[in-house]
Structure 1
C-alpha cells in the first residue's frame, strides 16, 4: 500500500491497544476526523464485517461504509471503503515489544477516488490525511498511556 504510513510506540500491551483501537465506539476519541462509527453486522467482527464511519471531510460530514479485509487479533486489521466517491484503504499492525509490555503500532492509509472522488482525493482528502494520521497516533498513545483507557 502506498500513501501514508506512521509508526508509534505505546506503553501498553498489544491486547490493550487492540481492544481500544478496533472498538468502533472509541474511534472518535482518537481519530480527529471521525464523528461516529457503528457496526452494520451482528456478532463479533470478522473479515467481511462492515462499519458505517462518518467523518469530517473539509466542511462536510461524510458517511462511508468500511469492510474488514483482515482481522487478526491482537496483531493486524485492515479495512477498505466500499461505497462513495472516496474509498479509503487502511492497514493497522500491532507488534509486541519488551515481552508484550509495550507495542509498536503501525498504520497505513491510502485512498482511491471514483468519479468526482478523484478530484476530492487530490485536493482535500490526501492533505487532510497527511496532517491527521500522525495526530491520530499521538492521540491513541495519549489515550492509552495517560487516560487509563482500555
Structure 2
C-alpha cells in the first residue's frame, strides 16, 4: 500500500511550525484521534525520544510507543511506532515559503503491520488515517495561524 501524504500551507515561519510539531504536549490539540500523550524521556524531544500515545480507533483505545528517528530543525522530523500490531511511520517536512514568512507542511504516514494488523490496517486503520490526516492538517493550520 502507498504512503498517505497531505500538504497544507501555514502563515507561520518554519521555526514556529517545527517547534509546535515536535512538542508531544501539542499532539492532542491537532490530531483528532489522540486521547493521551506521555513522553517517557526528558524534553525537549531528541533523536531516540519515546512517547506513549493512546489513540481512539473506531470505538477502541489503542496505546503504543513511538520513537523519534531523525530531526532536522526546522525542516523535518520522522518517527515510528515500536510496538503493537500496527506501527505507524510518520514524517513531517516543513518548507519555507515567501522568504521564510510562511510554510508548506507535508505530513506522510505509513504503517508496518504484524499479526492482526495485517487484516486491520487495510480495512480500518488506513481508511481512517486517509480521512483524518487532512482534517489534522487543517486543525494544525488553524491553531498556528490563530495564536498557538
TM interval, short-chain normalised = over 0.9
- How many residues were matched structurally? 148
Q: Which residue of 1 aligns with 2:77?
A: 77
* TM-score after normalising by structure 1: 0.94
Q: How does 1:36-75 map to 2 (within 5 A)?
A: 36-75=36-75
Residues 29-88 of structure 1: CA deviation (Å, up to 9, x unaligned): 100101121211124322111111110111111111001111111110001001011100
Give the distance between the partners of 1:42 and 1:13, measured in 2 at CA: 26
Q: Structure 1 runs of 4+ off > 6 angstroms?
A: none
Structure 1 unaligned segments of length 5 or more: list them. none
Q: How does 1:67-106 map to 2 (within 5 A)?
A: 67-106=67-106
* TM-score after normalising by structure 2: 0.96
C-alpha contact 2:23 2:45 (8 A) present in aligned 1: no
Pairwise CA distance, 1:2: 3.4
C-alpha contact 1:25 1:36 (8 A) present in aligned 2: no
- 1:8 matched to 2:8? The reply is yes
C-alpha contact 2:23 2:44 (8 A) present in aligned 1: no
Structure 2 unaligned segments of length 5 or more: list them. none
